[in-house]
Chain A
């Protein structure tokens, strides 16, 4: 049941690096993160990787496996053949710190730029009343585990460093949508979505939604509805197209 698997793992730091070959034992039922841990324990004790829960709940272990953005702890070895070479590289959109660990501070910076929940002034704690149907829209977005795989994938910043300044990325545009759709939030977020957070740069390719391990419909349920709200105030051709393609209430 166990076999010797072939791995290529990117090793290096901000000054450069390369793929390194390893042959390592693989046992039944294991995930890629188990193999990385086995490498640490047997062949490369200083191999850097970020992880925490090992159950797909914390969003720490994001990387690219054979070029696809994935969580290392939720990628089973049984999805590969025994003779396949498995290549593990760090997320490409963020600067490398070491090996598989990247500097994700971009995301924390963007998080801070979004004005926080603004509660109604006249409600005391305990007086909040909301219907389940009304909270569900924002609840979907709050399933986000902040793995930043969507941020890593979105072409607006993946290949365009220069856009990072103006673009919050799918995760944080979704945060704007979450607050906009919060039944009791009192702030107006529509104009700032477009003007401060770069919603206009998104051309609804849905690549972000495809990689989301929580299967959140980022584009359909957050970005397009936000674009629609912007369009209600201002004409935007992409929304017009979006409306035609994905009609929803």
Chain B
């Protein structure tokens, strides 16, 4: 057995995005010796890319806002499939979590009376998103990073050692969780830099690994998003829910090819940008669904008046929920009315003065200028849907973030339930903080309640290192880059934004073959910072998670939020009562139906009966 470095902690947090860092702060403040493990450098996790803001009903801009209104918006956005308890806790606690960031040193944009400013966003009834220009994620990450540093400074003052109770292991990849006698005993992985193996012994592990977008060809997500946490949880015996729901953001860049998928923020439309096809038509007017007809304008004049007079006009249809806009763009392109590079036109240049565009959308202006040679103050952008966010994830207890495996917790994008079938913009960053904190607390109280700690067997370590070294054993096997490209193409084409039974069947067949081929990947070189090897290991996770997505999507014969079927276009109230739960059976993914817990009465009472009738069965309403 190769030599293995060993560490021992009370709580291990896998992931250093918003969720992981908030969880680590909480665990440490509960006195736990805590480690944070992350694949990239500390401070560079995916959260850094978030632009628009954090949703929290502070009521700073419109005092009519409250947690109840936020809860309602979240449930509507998720088409009532959400775990209502999570949506409730989220709406109630988000303001506290945002205010707390100020005590860590965050500097949000301000209102005139010196409070945190809040902006409008799709699906939120009132201005609700706390923000810093269009770089809110950076502020969130940096603030939490600096809070961690401040806790380390406290330890230095007390113990003469910065890492006494809180240590970050950066550029480290976890490949396996260790489960002994039905409970978590630790985690195994490698330093990306040296390839050396490390075993962490810990009675509690918090997964905060983010999403899965790298299984799709066109995505706004970075290389980190290989679904590691989803796969680690499955292999440890936990369950994933809602994996069929994937959010395709309507506006990603489509050209040049090398930046295809990079996000174009929703604020472009919020600030007046409109969508047109090659016939120069504002096509969104043709795509207003029946349920939204009373809220969205059906003519350009009214839509344009809304920007200055929101009380007396209906909203422009460009601001429909993300799933609606993404589908509309997709249809236009399919009908042959797309732009030269296969998208549609998003134009703000004819809508606002150049100076105003530069002031309100500085990073979009910069991004298009630098990467596409397009001046958005003078030309339209070309945009199309891009895989953005996974609503599905580890099934957890809402209050403690505990999974069904003892000692395993999950928070942030890797957890499932909170957003139902579709997430509202801004609700992820708040989710990270609310459930990050709860996971830290949940793990701490679990550890305190243990009478003895699990230990890790030598076999478990041997097995994990063997798996990790497998790609070096095979010779003449396939190149992991080739396999990855094929996987991305298949998921994009066959389990993408619009789905059909026959295509999903084909996707599953292809995945089966890819799984076989992945058995004999081979990589060149040695273990030191070897991206080919890293990809080979990540592929195992991507394949597993992709299979969950395809299998669940095949079973759900309705369309809802981030799951749209050509062959089952309607939303069904019966399906709302069912969750699809993935678990691992050997190497095969099993999907089972599970009944939703009925929504608590006082929460149901927050809605009009007429609205509930759109979503619930007559039986539930009686």
Q: Chain A interface (Cβ within 8 Å of chain B)?
A: 13, 27-31, 34, 40-41, 45-60, 74, 76, 78, 97-99, 101, 104, 108, 111-112, 115-117, 119, 125-126, 128-132, 135, 138-139, 142-146, 179, 182, 185
Are A53 and B110 neighbours in the complex by a CB distance under 8 Å? no
Known: A57-B49, A60-B44, A117-B104. A51 touches B223 (CB 8 A): yes
B598: Cβ under 8 A from any A Cβ: no
- Among residues of A, the one whose C-beta sits closest to the C-beta of B528 is A98
Are B528 and A13 neighbours in the complex by a CB distance under 8 Å? yes
A46→B595 CA distance, assembly (Å):
48
Are B99 and A56 neighbours in the complex by a CB distance under 8 Å? no
- Select B44's contact among A30, A59, A112, A144, beta carbons within 8 Å: A59
Task: Report 14 cross-chain contacts, Cβ distance below 8 Å, ordered by A residue.
Answer: A27-B258, A46-B523, A46-B533, A50-B41, A52-B40, A55-B367, A57-B48, A74-B371, A101-B193, A104-B41, A108-B42, A117-B104, A126-B99, A129-B115
- Select A48's contact among B44, B366, B530, beta carbons within 8 Å: B530
- Select B531's contact among A46, A97, A112, beta carbons within 8 Å: A46
B279: Cβ under 8 A from any A Cβ: no
User: Which residues in B have their C-beta under 8 angstroms from that of A138?
Assistant: 107
Are B256 and A45 neighbours in the complex by a CB distance under 8 Å? no
Contact with A along B104-117 (1 / 0, CB 8 A): 11011110011101
Are B42 and A53 neighbours in the complex by a CB distance under 8 Å? no
Are A45 and B529 neighbours in the complex by a CB distance under 8 Å? no
Closest A-B pairs by Cβ, 10 of them = A29-B256, A46-B525, A117-B105, A116-B150, A129-B114, A45-B532, A125-B99, A48-B529, A126-B99, A41-B481
Q: How far is the CB of A91 from chain B (nearest CB, A)?
A: 13
Among B72-121, those with CB < 8 Å from A are 95-96, 99-100, 102-105, 107-110, 113-115, 117
> Other than the known A53-B44, A78-B373, A185-B105, what 20 A-B pairs have Cβ atoms closer than 8 Å?
A27-B257, A31-B371, A45-B524, A46-B525, A54-B259, A58-B40, A58-B222, A59-B44, A76-B373, A98-B528, A98-B529, A104-B41, A125-B96, A125-B99, A132-B110, A135-B107, A135-B110, A138-B107, A182-B105, A182-B107
Contact with A along B398-433 (1 / 0, CB 8 A): 000000000000000000000000000000000000
- Among residues of B, the one whose C-beta sits closest to the C-beta of A125 is B99
Q: Contact size class for B? A: 35 or more
User: Which residues in B have their C-beta under 8 angstroms from that of A50?
Assistant: 40-41
B361: Cβ under 8 A from any A Cβ: no
Are A29 and B150 neighbours in the complex by a CB distance under 8 Å? no
B370: Cβ under 8 A from any A Cβ: yes
User: Which residues in A have their C-beta under 8 angstroms from that of B358?
Assistant: none
A13→B138 CA distance, assembly (Å):
31
Contact with A along B135-152 (1 / 0, CB 8 A): 100110010001101101
Q: How far is the CB of B29 from chain A (nearest CB, A)?
A: 14
Are B150 and A117 neighbours in the complex by a CB distance under 8 Å? yes
Q: How far is the CB of B133 from chain A (nearest CB, A)?
A: 8
Are B532 and A130 neighbours in the complex by a CB distance under 8 Å? no
User: Which of A45, A54, A138: most chain B Cβ within 10 A?
Assistant: A45
User: Which residues in B have their C-beta under 8 angstroms from that of A55?
Assistant: 49, 259, 262-263, 367, 371
B372: Cβ under 8 A from any A Cβ: yes
Are A116 and B224 neighbours in the complex by a CB distance under 8 Å? no
Are A52 and B222 neighbours in the complex by a CB distance under 8 Å? yes
User: Which residues in A have their C-beta under 8 angstroms from that of B531?
Assistant: 40, 45-49
Q: Chain B interface (Cβ within 8 Å of chain A)?
A: 40-44, 46, 48-49, 58, 95-96, 99-100, 102-105, 107-110, 113-115, 117, 132-133, 135, 138-139, 142, 146-147, 149-150, 152-153, 156, 162, 193, 222-224, 255-259, 262-263, 366-367, 370-373, 479, 481, 523-526, 528-533
User: Which residues in B have their C-beta under 8 angstroms from that of A111?
Assistant: 149
Q: How far is the CB of A169 from chain B (nearest CB, A)?
A: 16
Known: A117-B105, A131-B114. A54 touches B262 (CB 8 A): yes
Q: How far is the CB of B26 from chain A (nearest CB, A)?
A: 15
- Among residues of A, the one whose C-beta sits closest to the C-beta of B43 is A146
- Select A74's contact among B99, B370, B523, beta carbons within 8 Å: B370
User: Which residues in B have their C-beta under 8 angstroms from that of A143?
Assistant: 135, 138
Are B257 and A128 neighbours in the complex by a CB distance under 8 Å? no
- Select A142's contact among B99, B107, B258, beta carbons within 8 Å: B107
- Among residues of A, the one whose C-beta sits closest to the C-beta of B50 is A57
Are B153 and A97 neighbours in the complex by a CB distance under 8 Å? no
User: Which residues in B have their C-beta under 8 angstroms from that of A132?
Assistant: 109-110, 117
User: Which of A57, A97, A115: most chain B Cβ within 10 A?
Assistant: A57
User: Which residues in B have their C-beta under 8 angstroms from that of A112?
Assistant: 149, 152-153, 156, 162
A184→B414 CA distance, assembly (Å):
36
Q: How far is the CB of B108 from chain A (nearest CB, A)?
A: 8
User: Which residues in B have their C-beta under 8 angstroms from that of A185?
Assistant: 105
Are B259 and A117 neighbours in the complex by a CB distance under 8 Å? no
Known: A117-B104, A131-B110, A182-B105. A142 touches B132 (CB 8 A): yes
Q: How far is the CB of A76 from chain B (nearest CB, A)?
A: 7
Q: How far is the CB of B128 from chain A (nearest CB, A)?
A: 16
User: Which residues in A have their C-beta under 8 angstroms from that of B223?
Assistant: 51-52
A16→B367 CA distance, assembly (Å):
37
Known: A101-B529, A116-B150. A76 touches B371 (CB 8 A): yes
